């Protein structure tokens, strides 16, 4: 019987192989219509300057959209919405509509920094037992049940209602036009979607609508650089949202009512109906209550200081607080006495990163569900205690113990954070992009949108719901444990910096667990080493893997670091002598994140921007 079964399987596999080969031989595989495009991927940049306004974002279309909105009289908050929607079109496989969208803003008139929680929640049916009973140790990556309730439509409407000046119809027009008319395939799309023939065939079997969107339904044909790429379904969805607003505006003339109509159309109207019906048919978890009941919220940002700089970030539903925690550990250490990116310098910064990451693992979670001791974690006393755990000249063999905190759960969380994680190969999942904008009034935006099509997209809509639930843990004792209605501890985070109470910089990056590591290195390049913003971004980076990764299956490589060339060639041996396991990273690889930043000179008002050539990131100013 077994022999017969193996024979049938063998015949089926042979037939599939023959079908794939015939498709590759007979069907067209070349590029479609080409478009002119000077792709800035891995092209040398220079700092850009301006006195009027500036944008630095994940690609040129997004940046130029922001600049156009500002030139037409919109403010930074209007420009952020228009550019976000364009990014959702032109880089939708990494920063999708309607994914997560952590936000930090600076309102110049109020001289106030604010955070908005742009992270979705777990649906009501999502429980640890649900996945455990199916045999999963972590939330599965390619499963519709790993989709999180969408967040960015809520964030968009709340930002426009409170601080914007333009209508959704005006701002969405940019994205709708480019989605219909098309844009050239760029290198990051090829990096993300450059599947081989067999992978494309399997992708088509598992997620046929995703293939329709990203391969025009032709799984046998790969994407080609600079060919025209359109998103007609997403254009239609955005148009339906704009039409919902126009209908109300025509009836009432009330801007807030029109914006509310956009939100209602998504969360409590036809789009919600479509999403819920899809989940019902495909074994998903979403209900109408999940969507209609979803809300983000404004919150007081978390802060830490380094010298006379105050670093602002979102709260612990994301990893953003790692950045100020690392900088506070490093404060008082004479980094300038070390050669930049020398073994001693890298070791010192890496140890601070790994100490803060251990605390992230032990304590960070959705503050609505977890008592996170942020006042202690971001205190100077705590930073001093963590500094005392550093081991000069000697690497941590594994993730260090988190700093003990005097709370009821401290003993347990310390123990839980240092349990033996299963080792796994570290596979880099590229997702996320970034937007920062400063307008002529001095308002600033830091926005880190994300989510990618690793789960089935909603047919006919162009909507990617991502698999962000993979950043939950199926361990009830973990601070990021899955609970219905809870937010996972997501990696995307937004940052902003003030100096002596004045706006200094908005900056951020994609890159998963590398995000805060890259932000720390760029900040130090600016503040300690006195580099200009572009040089600070361009400098080679180093990355620690000495903690469990945020994405399922949460890979962990004890004592391991990755050095971007030429650091690997120069210093790998010295780092190994300290006890590190060292891996080589390619120069200007997006594995090391892609930072965008805008700085303001408080004396002259001059804006200076930079963008990372590790992706298509682009900065422009006027």
Q: Which residues are CB-neighbours of 431 under 8 A, at least 6 positions away? A: 94, 95, 450, 451, 452, 466, 510, 512
In the predicted model, what is the mean pLDDT of the chain?
Answer: 94
HSE-up of residue 509 (Cα within 13 Å, Cβ side): 28
Q: Are residues 247 and 136 in the same domain?
A: yes
pLDDT of the residue at 13: 57
- Is residue 533's pLDDT more than 90? yes
Residue 129 CB burial class (10 angstroms; 0-12, 13-18, ≥19): exposed
Strand arrangement of the beta sheet that strand 112-116 belongs to? 298-299, 112-116, 103-107, 444-447, 435-438, 54-57, 618-621
Domain that holds residue 128: 71-96+118-182+230-295+451-471
Residue 304 lies in a domain: yes
140 and 234 belong to one structural domain: yes
The pLDDT value recorded for residue 30 is 85
Higher pLDDT, 420 or 272: 272
**Contact status, residue 125 vs residue 484, Cβ threshold 8 Å:** yes
Q: Is the pLDDT of residue 24 over 70?
A: no
Lookup: tokens for 30: 């070349």
Among 76, 260, 52, CA closest to 154: 260
CB of 145 closer than 8 Å to CB of 126: yes
The residue-averaged pLDDT of 239-268 equals 97
Q: Is residue 533 part of a domain?
A: yes
- Digit-coded pLDDT (tens) for 125-161: 999 999 999 999 999 999 999 999 999 999 999 999 9
Of the three residues 471, 502, 536, the one that is the final residue of a domain is 471
Question: Is there a domain that residue 442 lies in?
Answer: no
Q: Do residue 397 and residue 279 come from a single domain?
A: no
Number of Cβ within a 10 Å radius of residue 32: 15
Q: Is residue 288 part of a domain?
A: yes
Which of 443, 471, 499 lies at the terminal end of a domain, its last residue?
471
User: Are residues 341 and 379 both part of a single domain?
Assistant: yes
Same domain membership, residue 426 and residue 511: yes
Six-digit token pair at 94? Answer: 């990494």
Statement to judge: residues 82 and 170 lie in one domain:
yes
CA distance 4 to 16: 18
Residue 412, pLDDT > 50, answer no
Peptide bond preceding 504 in cis form (omega within 30 of 0): no
CA distance 622 to 611: 16
The answer to whether 490 and 102 have CB atoms below 8 angstroms apart is yes
Give the model confidence (pLDDT) of 425-468 as tens digits.
444 556 799 999 999 999 999 999 999 999 999 999 999 999 99
- Per-residue confidence at 182, pLDDT binned at 50, 70, 90? very high
**317 shares a domain with 266:** no
Gap between the Cα atoms of 33 and 31, Å rounded: 7
Same domain, 556 and 464: no
Conformation bin of residue 219: beta by default, left when phi > 0, alpha when psi is -120 to 50:
alpha
Q: Looking up tokens 């109300």, which residue turns up?
A: 248
CA 137 distance to own-chain centroid: 24
Average pLDDT over residues 501-530: 98
pLDDT at 407: 59
Is residue 556 domain-shared with residue 614, that is, in the same domain?
Answer: yes
| Listed residues 471, 501, 530: the one ending a domain | 471
Q: How far apart are CA 306 and CA 350, in angstroms?
A: 17
**576 located within any domain:** yes
pLDDT score, position 602? 87
Q: Is residue 102 part of a domain?
A: no
As for how many domains the chain has, the answer is: 2
Q: Each residue of 279-311: pLDDT tens digit? A: 999 999 999 999 999 999 999 999 999 999 999
Share of the chain above pLDDT 90, in %: 90
- Please report, for residues 97, 273, 366, the alpha-carbon distance to residue 244 in angstroms, rounded to integers and kept in the order given: 17, 15, 33
Own/partner long-range contacts of 21-29 (Cβ < 8 Å, ≥24 apart): 23/201, 23/219, 23/220, 24/197, 24/220, 27/218, 27/220, 27/221, 28/218, 28/221, 29/220, 29/221, 29/222
Are 511 and 385 in a shared domain?
yes
- Domain membership flag for residue 551: yes
Tell me the C-alpha to C-alpha distance, in Å, between residue 117 and each of 102, 318, 436, 506.
6, 9, 17, 17
HSE-up of residue 387 (Cα within 13 Å, Cβ side): 16
Quote the CA–CA distance of 498 and 503 in Å, as a whole number. 5
Token pair recorded at residue 54: 């500036």
pLDDT: which is higher, 261 or 8:
261
How many residues are recorded in the chain?
A: 622
- Give the per-residue SS3 of 319-365: CCCHHHHHHHHHCCCCHHHCCCCCHHHHHHHHHHHHHHHHHHHHHCC
- Average pLDDT for residues 48-71, to the nearest whole number? 98
Regarding whether 343 and 321 lie in a shared domain, the answer is yes
DSSP state of 318: B
User: What distances in angstroms separate CA 203 from CA 74, 186, 200, 553, one per listed residue?
Assistant: 41, 21, 5, 20
Q: Is residue 205 part of a domain?
A: no
Q: Tokens at residue 449, please?
A: 């949108």
pTM, two decimal places: 0.94
Within 13 Å and on the Cβ side, how many CA atoms surround 338?
A: 18
| More confident position, 375 or 194 | 375
Do 270 and 418 sit in the same domain of this protein?
A: no
- Write out the DSSP string of 388-449: TT--TT---SSPPPPPP-SSTTHHHHHHHHTS-PPP-----------EEEE-TTS-EEEE--
């Amino acid at each position: 019987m077994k022999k017969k079964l193996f024979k049938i399987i063998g015949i089926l596999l042979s037939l599939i192989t023959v079908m794939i080969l015939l498709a590759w031989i007979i069907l067209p595989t070349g590029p479609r219509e080409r478009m002119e495009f000077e792709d800035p991927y891995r092209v040398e940049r220079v700092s850009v300057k301006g006195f009027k306004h500036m944008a630095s974002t994940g690609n040129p279309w997004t940046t130029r959209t922001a600049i156009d909105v500002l030139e037409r009289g919109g403010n930074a908050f209007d420009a952020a919405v228009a550019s976000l929607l364009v990014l959702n079109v032109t880089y939708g496989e990494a920063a999708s509509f309607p994914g997560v969208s952590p936000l930090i803003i600076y309102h110049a008139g109020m001289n106030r920094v604010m955070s908005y929680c742009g992270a979705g929640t777990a649906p009501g049916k999502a429980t640890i037992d649900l996945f455990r009973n199916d045999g999963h140790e972590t939330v599965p990556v390619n499963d519709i049940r790993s989709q999180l309730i969408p967040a960015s439509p809520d964030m968009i409407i709340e930002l426009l209602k409170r601080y914007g000046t333009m209508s959704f119809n005006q701002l969405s027009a940019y994205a709708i036009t480019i989605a219909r008319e098309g844009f050239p395939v760029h290198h990051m799309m090829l990096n993300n979607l450059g599947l081989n023939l067999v992978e494309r065939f399997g992708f088509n079997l598992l997620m046929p609508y995703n293939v329709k969107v990203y391969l025009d339904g032709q799984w046998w044909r790969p994407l080609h650089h600079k060919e025209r790429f359109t998103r007609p379904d997403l254009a239609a969805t955005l148009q339906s949202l704009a039409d919902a607003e126009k209908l109300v505006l025509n009836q009432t003339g009330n801007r807030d009512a029109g914006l509310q109509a956009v939100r209602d159309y998504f969360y409590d109207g036809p789009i919600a109906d479509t999403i819920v019906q899809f989940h019902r048919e495909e074994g998903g978890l979403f209900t109408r209550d999940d969507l209609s009941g979803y809300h983000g919220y404004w919150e007081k940002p978390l802060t830490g200081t380094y010298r006379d700089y105050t670093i602002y970030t979102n709260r612990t539903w994301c990893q953003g607080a790692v950045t100020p925690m690392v900088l506070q550990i490093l404060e008082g250490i004479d980094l300038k006495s070390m050669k930049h990116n020398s073994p001693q310098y890298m070791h010192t910064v890496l140890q601070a990163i790994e100490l803060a990451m251990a605390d992230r693992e032990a304590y960070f979670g959705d503050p609505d569900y977890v008592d996170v001791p942020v006042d202690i974690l971001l205190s100077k006393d705590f930073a001093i205690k963590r500094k005392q755990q550093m081991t000069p000249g000697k690497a941590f063999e594994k993730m260090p113990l988190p700093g003990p905190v005097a709370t009821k759960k401290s003993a347990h969380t310390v123990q839980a954070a240092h349990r033996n994680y299963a080792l796994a190969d570290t596979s880099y999942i590229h997702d996320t992009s970034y937007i920062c904008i400063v307008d002529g009034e001095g308002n600033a935006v830091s926005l880190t949108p994300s989510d990618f099509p690793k789960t089935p997209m909603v047919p006919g809509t162009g909507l990617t719901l991502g698999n962000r639930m993979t950043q939950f843990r199926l361990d009830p004792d973990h601070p990021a444990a899955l609970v219905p209605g809870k937010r996972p501890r997501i990696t995307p985070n937004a940052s902003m910096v003030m100096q002596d109470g004045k706006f200094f910089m908005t900056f951020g990056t994609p890159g998963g667990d590398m995000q805060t590591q890259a932000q720390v290195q760029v900040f130090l390049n600016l503040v300690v080493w006195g580099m200009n913003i572009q040089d600070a971004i361009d400098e080679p980076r180093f990355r620690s893997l000495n903690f469990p990764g945020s994405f399922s299956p949460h890979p962990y490589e004890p004592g391991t670091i990755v050095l971007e060339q030429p650091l690997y060639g120069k210093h790998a041996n010295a780092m190994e002598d300290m006890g590190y396991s060292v891996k080589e990273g390619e120069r200007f690889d997006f594995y090391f994140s892609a930072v965008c930043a805008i700085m303001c000179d408080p004396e002259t008002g001059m804006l200076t921007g930079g963008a990372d050539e590790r992706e298509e990131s682009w900065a422009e100013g006027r």
